[in-house]
Amino acid sequence: MRLRLASIVVLMLVAVNGMAQSGGELRFCIHSEPKTFNPVLMSDDASETVRYLTGGVLMRLNRLTQNLQPELATSWKVSDGGKTISFQLRDGLRFSDGTAFSAEDVAFTVQQLMDPNLHSPTGDEFRSGDGKVETRVLSQNRIVVTFPAPVAGLDKLFDQVAIMSAKSPQKEMAVLGPFYVAENKAGSYLILKRNPNYWKHDSSGRQLPYLDSVRLDIQQNRDLEMLRLVRGDIDFINSVDAEYFDKISTEKASVAHDAGVSLDSEFMWFNQVPTSSLPAYKKAWFTSTNFRRAISESINREDMARIAFRGHAQPGVGPISPGNKFWFNSKLQAHPFDQKSALARMAQDGFRLQNGVLRDRDGHAVEFSLITNSGNKYRERMATMIQQDLSGIGIKLNVVTLDFPSLIERMTRTFDYEACLLGLVNNDLDPSSQMNVWLSSAENHQWNPSQKTPATAWEAEIDQLMHAQASTLDQKKRKQCVDKVQEIVWQQEPFIYLVNKDALSAVSPALQNVQPVVLRPQVYWNIDQLQLTSAVAKNRQ
Amino acid sequence: MKWARAAAVIFLVVLALVCLLADFLAPTSYAHQFREVPDAAPSRHHLLGTDALGRDRFTRVLYGSRVSLLLAPAAALLASLLAALIGAGAGLAGGWVERCIMAATDLFLSLPWLFLLITVRALLPLNVSPMASVTITFALLGCLGWAAAARVICADTRALCRSDFVLLARASGCDGFRLLWRHIVPNLKPIVYAQFWISIPVFILTEANLGILGLGVAEPLPSWGGLLRELESFSGLSGQPWIFVPLVLLILVVSSFHLLMENEELTA
Amino acid sequence: MSGLAKCAVKVLLTVLLGGFLGATLVRMAPGFGVDEEELDTRLSHESIQSLRRTDAADSNLAAFYFHYLGRIVRGDLGTSRTLQRPVSQLLAERFPETLKSVGLGLALGWALGLPLAIFVVMTRTWYVDLFASMLGGILLCIPAAVLALLFVLMQAPGRLVLGLIVFPKVFRYSRNLLAQSSDLPHILTARAKGLGNARVLLWHILPVTAPQLLALAGISLSIAFAAAIPVEVLCDLPGIGQLAWKAALERDLALLVNLTMIVTLITVIANSASDLVGHAFRTVEP
């Protein structure tokens, strides 16, 4: 009798312990209010965070292994040279509100995605050519999608496509991901609760996610965010500033993680638009490759990485970061810091150093301005460091920080600027995502956008190579083309790459199963497997 | 009490001298980045340590006081004079003129002047010299900062208009601008002084925040507002007391101005 | 027309003028009609063109204002381009938050400022005056961002920072005003006659200074609203100030026009009210 009682008590304790292992509310901050919950229309960070947490995708790019793994689709096949993809979907799944999931929903999502009137940014990545996208529903769980022209990296692009329900009365709020949006206090916070119909189970058969809910606080102030992490108010910071990283690691070494060099780059460029209002002699300077190479060699990138980023960055090499192991051209290295060589290059174009001032062949003193966006202290510091570096070869640089809309206006409409310092946030490993930067006819070809015909021979060559790599599925051939593009950019320096930042994050020890990586989202990419320690989870019930 | 005032005068004079002689007193250039020692603690070579880029903070405080101590009081003076003239003129005129001017003042207080500042930045050439840019900034601040005080001055003027000496002045034929300038404005001194005293630190801090729009002081020229922005981060606030020196100096300057302008009759 | 009706018309005209001038300032500033989303490298040529067309929709200012006034009559304040929601909804959500902050800030500022000024003027000793002025000076010199950070470090509510920003200005003006009045001849006479401090203050100094103090109260509302913007942005309080800052950075015309008109309305009403009450005081002056 006593033994039975004892065994019942033991069983209950074990059960209670097991239950306390899961649950709890994960808390972290997003930096602005999500603009929309429609996964097809999203373009800002906050909305995309919500999409990652709530949206179910056909295949997921595993951020750690960088391979595709099946999610809603158990298998898929790309055929027809990259024009067609067919999916085999899982059976018997339901959306968060109970509506059944079938191939119809996938067809509906793809049609919404590719609707030319909606201008979906995610959809634009699939738009390789004109024409309609066809979806053929073969059965409840088989569907074939055909695009008008081959799409490079077609399967990996589906990592961004969250499937919406065609029939649910809740429209885009009915989701297939681990969580659903339960509460939205506009401007303040969002609460996501676990999706009771989530299909994934762990190896012991327990339904994922382990967490009960996620609370997203809208906090723009990075200082306050860091304070809250140190206090235990929030559980992680997905992307930490270099300055705070050292502070956090001195407080608790286990909390701060440096996952290595990320895909983001910081760079500057000169205005090469022929119709800009700059005086002719300045246009001549900026369009000269020797001038740009000389400027690049006068900048001390090592110092920049060491001082502006506290050592959490690497000198930049080219458009593809060394963190992108497959696509990076490993034969290239960052331009060395060599002011003698820079002056020699300038001399080739007729520039002479007289009394500490560099003058061109007509006697104009070399002086120009560098604009960058205000509020980003790393860019302001980089600009000030470049100012000192260039004064070493007799160039006077004026640093002007502008608010972002004024900056964009100068960059894209009036072309009233001389040099600009900005950065690119890159979420995609595939170089095709940067098509709109390297094609000379594109709007984002910053130094000379929307060209009717390529202005220089090397830009024409880049156009050819980018088109070539986008129209074949042969990875070796694509790599050859992309390597050549990187070489050309290295030689011509239309963008002078400065640094590649490291992927820094900070995670509280209360959060388990965390493996911070370089690809976004760095910390919560495996959200359905994250767990809180039982003490913290109980506190937050 | 007199010694406190004397101390204030001496402090301001010494500071002014130090500003003018900054070229001789400064151990190094304010722009030079000592890249081997960023964020250093005070030492023999760097009396107040170095900032995030390795620039000597002591030198930057010296040169920064030139910009801030010269231009902020000038802008504050401009704002105070404008407030006095507009407020007193309105109060004196009375009737619908006063109501119009006060309505215009209300309007002035409510408009988003941020956009005017952004437009001014756009009209200036990108390669404008830092001194020109900062002078224009402070001039603009002076022209925009008068509205709040003008209302209080208007109310004060109306009260003054009923006092004996003004009635006497009016009776003896003094009128219009002469009345305003010789009899009313001198008696508005307390409020004008208050406006002036408040404006100095407000303008210094605002200039720092205008860096967001591309106005204000351009790198590498230092200003006290810019130096105070170093305090604005969490990492700045802990364990580096020497960063607070610009703040302490600013407080001392503001207090000295107070002692200078203090109403002598307040003493018992 | 009765006085109240005239007042109402004046308020309405000022508010409309404020809205139009505000809209003009926003429209003329550089960066109008551009969107950060244009820099998204995923967008195709057609998407960027469509984005530019929507952003340019509000270019004609007169047309915009005309349509806007037409909609206001029906109660529709327009839609925010950046937050994609009706302006009236945004304002309704955020206004109570700002009212709380501003109310608390004003209460704190006046509760600290006026009594301190009275104390300084009544005791008439130079060291009290110096100490109070140094306190005010310190608060004026510390940047709002630092104050906000200190408050968060001490786990105090961020709204109180507003009170500390309003306090030195209220203190300084009221100290100088009271000092000025306490030197008027009839006050000196009252003192010479042996009247106690409190009586002199209540019956002689305050009534005389009342119109100016009321004017100060009116503009302290403007000061509080202006200070609410940086405080809300720094402390992440979801109020009107934070909305105004976001709208300014993104040149959201619909939001900015509405916010300008609201601020103008509040400023004009507060200052007109203080004028009216001040007028009443003047007519019962001793």
What ipTM, to 2 d.p.? Answer: 0.88
Band (pLDDT 50/70/90 cuts) for residue B268 is very low
A307 Cβ contact partners less than 8 Å away, ≥ 6 residues apart: A381, A385, B33, B35, B38, B52, B53, B54
Q: How many whole angstroms separate alpha carbon A147 and alpha carbon A133?
A: 5
Query: Which chain C residues touch A if contact means CB-CB below 8 Å?
Result: 30-32, 34-48, 50-51, 82-85, 90, 93-94, 149, 152-153, 233-236, 238, 242-243, 249-251
Q: What is the mean pLDDT of chain A?
A: 90
Structure tokens at B104: 């215009």
Backbone angles phi, psi at A417, to 5 degrees: -155, 165
Band (pLDDT 50/70/90 cuts) for residue A20 is very low
Band (pLDDT 50/70/90 cuts) for residue B265 is very low
CA-based nearest residue to A326, from A139, A499, A480, A540 = A480
Question: What pLDDT score does A3 carry?
Answer: 66
Q: B219 and A369 in contact by Cβ < 8 A?
A: no
Q: Is A260 left (phi over 0), alpha (psi -120 to 50) or beta?
A: left
- Of residues B225 and A368, more confidence is placed in A368
- Suggest the residue from A33, A263, A443 to mutate for an interface test with chain C (most C CBs closer than 10 A): A443
Which chain C residues contact residue A220 at CB under 8 A?
Answer: 233, 236
Report the sign of the C-alpha dihedral through residues B18, B19, B20, B22, in that order.
positive
- Which helix (H) or strand (E) segment holds residue B59: the answer is helix B57-93
3-class SS of residue C285: coil
- Which helix (H) or strand (E) segment holds residue B251: the answer is helix B245-261
One-letter amino acid at A539 equals: N
Question: What pLDDT score does B264 carry?
Answer: 42
Band (pLDDT 50/70/90 cuts) for residue A267 is very high
Structure tokens at C263: 């601020």
Which chain A residues contact residue B33 at CB under 8 A?
Answer: 307, 384-385, 388
Q: How many whole angstroms separate alpha carbon A201 and alpha carbon A208?
A: 5
Question: What pLDDT score does A29 carry?
Answer: 95
CB-CB neighbours of C284 under 10 Å: 8
Helical packing angle, B130-144 and B189-209, nearest 10°: 140
Question: What pLDDT score does A422 carry?
Answer: 96
CA-based nearest residue to B203, from B253, B151, B128 = B253
| pLDDT, tens digit, 9 for 90 and up, residues A319-359 | 999 989 899 999 999 999 999 999 999 999 999 999 999 99
Q: How far is B189 from chain A (nearest CA, A)?
A: 39
Q: How far is B234 from chain A (nearest CA, A)?
A: 6
3-class SS of residue B110: helix
Band (pLDDT 50/70/90 cuts) for residue B236 is low
DSSP string, A388-432: HHHHTTT-EEEEEEE-HHHHHHIIIII---SEEEEEE----SSGG
Q: How many whole angstroms separate alpha carbon C148 and alpha carbon B251?
A: 19
Q: C47 and A406 in contact by Cβ < 8 A?
A: no
> Any alpha helices (H) in chain C, and if so which ranges?
3-28, 45-55, 61-73, 87-123, 126-141, 144-153, 160-182, 185-192, 197-199, 206-235, 240-250, 253-283
Question: What pLDDT score does C285 carry?
Answer: 52
How many residues are present in chain A?
541
Helix, strand, coil % in chain A, rounded to nearest 5: 35, 25, 40
- Of residues A16 and C93, more confidence is placed in C93
CA-based nearest residue to A321, from A39, A519, A54 = A519
| pLDDT, tens digit, 9 for 90 and up, residues B83-117 | 998 998 888 888 889 889 999 999 998 888 888 88
Mean pLDDT of all residues in A294-321: 94
Q: How many whole angstroms separate alpha carbon C103 and alpha carbon C119?
A: 24
Q: Which of A413-422, B168-177, C118-127 is predicted most confidently?
A: A413-422
Helical packing angle, B57-93 and B147-161, nearest 10°: 40
* DSSP designation for C172: H
Structure tokens at A367: 């002086």
Check pLDDT > 80 for residue A237.
Answer: yes
Check pLDDT > 70 for residue A206.
Answer: yes
* DSSP designation for C202: I
Check pLDDT > 50 for residue A19.
Answer: no
Strands A352-354 and A357-359: antiparallel
Q: Any CB–CB contact under 8 A between A234 and chain B? A: no
Q: Any CB–CB contact under 8 A between B128 and chain C? A: no
Question: What pLDDT score does A314 carry?
Answer: 94
Which chain B residues contact residue A416 at CB under 8 A?
Answer: 126
| pLDDT, tens digit, 9 for 90 and up, residues A130-170 | 888 999 999 988 999 999 988 888 889 999 999 999 999 98
DSSP string, B156-215: HHHHHHTSHHHHHHHHTT--HHHIIIIIIHHHTHHHHHHHHHHHHHHHHHHHHHGGGGT-
Torsion angle in degrees (nearest 10) through CA of C33, C36, C41, C47? -40
Q: How many whole angstroms separate alpha carbon A321 and alpha carbon A239?
A: 18
Structure tokens at A369: 């301005």
Angle among Cα A339, A341, A342 to the nearest 5 degrees reads 60
Q: How far is C114 from chain B (nearest CA, A)?
A: 15
Question: What pLDDT score does A18 carry?
Answer: 46
A347 Cβ contact partners less than 8 Å away, ≥ 6 residues apart: none
Check pLDDT > 90 for residue A298.
Answer: yes
- Of residues C185 and A477, more confidence is placed in A477
- Suggest the residue from C180, C209, C276 to mutate for an interface test with chain B (most B CBs closer than 10 A): C180
Mean pLDDT of all residues in A80-97: 91
Mean pLDDT of all residues in A51-59: 94
Check pLDDT > 70 for residue A195.
Answer: yes
How many CA atoms are closer than 13 Å to the CA of A516, on its beta-carbon side?
A: 23
Q: How many whole angstroms separate alpha carbon A85 and alpha carbon A145?
A: 5
Q: How far is C158 from chain B (nearest CA, A)?
A: 15
Q: A374 and B53 in contact by Cβ < 8 A?
A: no
Q: C179 and B266 in contact by Cβ < 8 A?
A: yes
Q: Any CB–CB contact under 8 A between A398 and chain B? A: yes
- Suggest the residue from B65, B102, B115 to mutate for an interface test with chain C (most C CBs closer than 10 A): B115
CB-CB neighbours of A356 under 10 Å: 9
Report percent pLDDT > 70 for chain B: 94
> Any alpha helices (H) in A429-520, and if so which ranges?
435-438, 457-470, 475-492
Check pLDDT > 50 for residue B267.
Answer: no
Q: How many whole angstroms separate alpha carbon B196 and alpha carbon B214?
A: 26
Structure tokens at A157: 């692009």
Q: What is the mean pLDDT of chain B?
A: 84
Nearest-by-Cβ selection for B268 from C29, C125, C144: C125
Task: Please list the ranges in chain C whose pLDDT falls under 70.
Answer: 1, 194-196, 283-286
